[in-house]
């Protein structure tokens, strides 16, 4: 086989598919270069070449490989957008990020989690939480949520895009509730949850010790409001603020509740229990590609409230 065939077989191997490759070649046409890149070769050196050029390419490819490896490791703990911002901060003069953003905020937690954990060993608690988070995060990510953090058994996520983001948040919350019966069956635990949703301006920034650990997160009064709404939601219910409701009132039906007096908030706040979702739309190109899956998800989401 020739060099390109060898590289193709390396890329098809489970053991070596991520191996960095530099190829030396006499083929320098644009068509040849496109073909080489399409195989997944990190760099190519056109003959003749100097030893210094070879060393420089090896060092560059190894540096890029290490960076990609570190980013992949970090992606298990941080959203891609956060990793990008952290990298940008490291290269900036200020070294900190603080931005005003409009986001729809979603808080969820497990009802009586302490009681549930009392029935389990420590290892089973961790296994259960990871199973729970895997299932719920899958639903959130389907609606393009940004997972801000896990707080014990709670999830803090946010959505952009103003009205569309608010509707995504409600659909994601409904999908999370829809997943509960399957989770109860697979774990054998009587799991229930509460969800609170609020929309407004927040501060997005990296917070923490300049000398040690930092956290890229959302802060501000509206974050506190969303968290308090979650605490006041009924079991297996979605409680949304008026700020969220007014943006999507033609797309959902709700049950108004008496104005809430939230800790730290002067004026009583209007809030609503989500009763049903009137319509559902695909929000990403990947969803548009699988219409049957979309229809199944639409039907399940719109029926999620039938049993409540």
The pLDDT value recorded for residue 177 is 94
Segment (H or E) for 218: strand 214-219
Say if residues 199 and 105 touch (Cβ distance below 8 Å).
yes
Distance CA 31, CA 46 (A): 14
The CA–CA distances, whole Å, from 215 to 5, 6, 75, 148 equal 46, 44, 14, 10
Domains of the chain: 3-74 (3.40.50.2300), 96-302 (3.30.70.1230)
DSSP per residue over 136-169, as a string?
HHHHHHHTT-EEEEEETTEEEEEE-SHHHHHHHH
Task: Please state, in angstroms and rounded to a whole number, the distance separating the CA atoms of residues 127 and 186.
Answer: 12
Task: Give me the chain's average pLDDT, please.
Answer: 82
CB 202 within 8 A of CB 219: yes
pLDDT tens figures, 220-245: 999 999 999 999 999 999 999 999 99
Q: Mean pLDDT throughout 201-206?
A: 86
Paired with 240 in beta bridges are: 197, 272
pLDDT at position 206 over 60: yes
How far is the first Cα of the chain from the last one, in angstroms, to the nearest whole number? 65
3-state secondary structure at position 43: strand
196, 231 Cβ separation under 8 angstroms: yes
Residues in CB range of 233: below 8 A, 6 or more apart: 194, 195, 196, 239, 273
| pLDDT bucket at 4, cuts 50 / 70 / 90 | confident
At 15-55, the pLDDT tens digits run 887 788 888 887 777 777 787 778 888 888 888 888 888 89
67-116 pLDDT, tens per residue? 887 777 776 666 666 666 666 655 555 556 678 889 999 999 999 998 88
d(Cα 163, Cα 126) in Å, to the nearest integer?
36
Total count of residues recorded for the chain: 308
pLDDT in tens, 52-61: 888 998 999 8
**pLDDT top residue among 189 and 2:** 189
How far apart (Å, rounded) are the C-alpha atoms in residues 263 and 224? Answer: 9
Q: Which of 122, 150, 118 is nearest to 137 (CA)?
A: 150
Do residues 37 and 12 touch, judged by C-beta distance below 8 A? no
Give the C-alpha separation, 240 to 273, whole Å.
6
32, 64 in Cβ contact below 8 A?
A: no
* Residue whose C-alpha is closest to residue 174's, from 304, 42, 264, 292: 304
């Amino acid at each position: 086989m020739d060099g390109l065939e060898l590289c193709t077989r390396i890329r098809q191997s489970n053991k070596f598919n991520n191996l960095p490759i530099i190829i030396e070649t006499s083929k320098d046409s644009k068509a040849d270069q496109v073909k080489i890149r399409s195989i997944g070769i990190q760099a190519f050196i056109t003959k003749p070449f100097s030893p210094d050029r070879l060393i420089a390419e090896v060092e560059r490819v190894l540096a890029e490989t290490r960076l990609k490896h570190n980013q992949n490791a970090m992606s298990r703990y941080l959203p891609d957008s956060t990793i990008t911002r952290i990298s940008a901060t490291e290269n900036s003069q200020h070294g900190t990020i603080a931005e005003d953003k409009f986001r729809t905020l979603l808080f969820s937690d497990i009802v009586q989690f302490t009681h549930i954990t009392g029935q389990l060993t420590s290892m089973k608690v961790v296994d259960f939480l990871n199973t729970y988070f895997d299932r719920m995060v899958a639903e959130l990510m389907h609606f393009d949520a940004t997972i801000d953090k896990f707080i014990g058994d709670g999830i803090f996520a946010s959505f952009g895009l103003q009205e569309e983001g608010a509707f995504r948040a409600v659909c994601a919350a409904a999908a999370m509730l829809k997943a509960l019966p399957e989770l109860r069956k697979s774990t054998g635990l009587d799991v229930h949850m509460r969800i609170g949703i609020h929309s407004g301006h927040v501060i997005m920034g990296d917070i923490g010790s300049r000398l040690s650990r930092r956290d890229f997160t959302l802060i501000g009064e509206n974050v506190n409001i969303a968290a308090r709404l979650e605490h006041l939601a009924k079991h297996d219910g979605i409680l949304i603020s008026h700020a969220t409701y007014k943006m999507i009132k033609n797309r959902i039906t709700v049950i108004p509740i008496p104005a809430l007096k939230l800790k730290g908030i002067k004026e009583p706040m209007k809030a609503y229990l989500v009763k049903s979702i009137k319509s559902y739309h695909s929000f990403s190109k990947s969803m548009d590609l699988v219409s049957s899956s979309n229809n199944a998800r639409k039907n399940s989401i719109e029926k999620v409230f039938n049993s409540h």
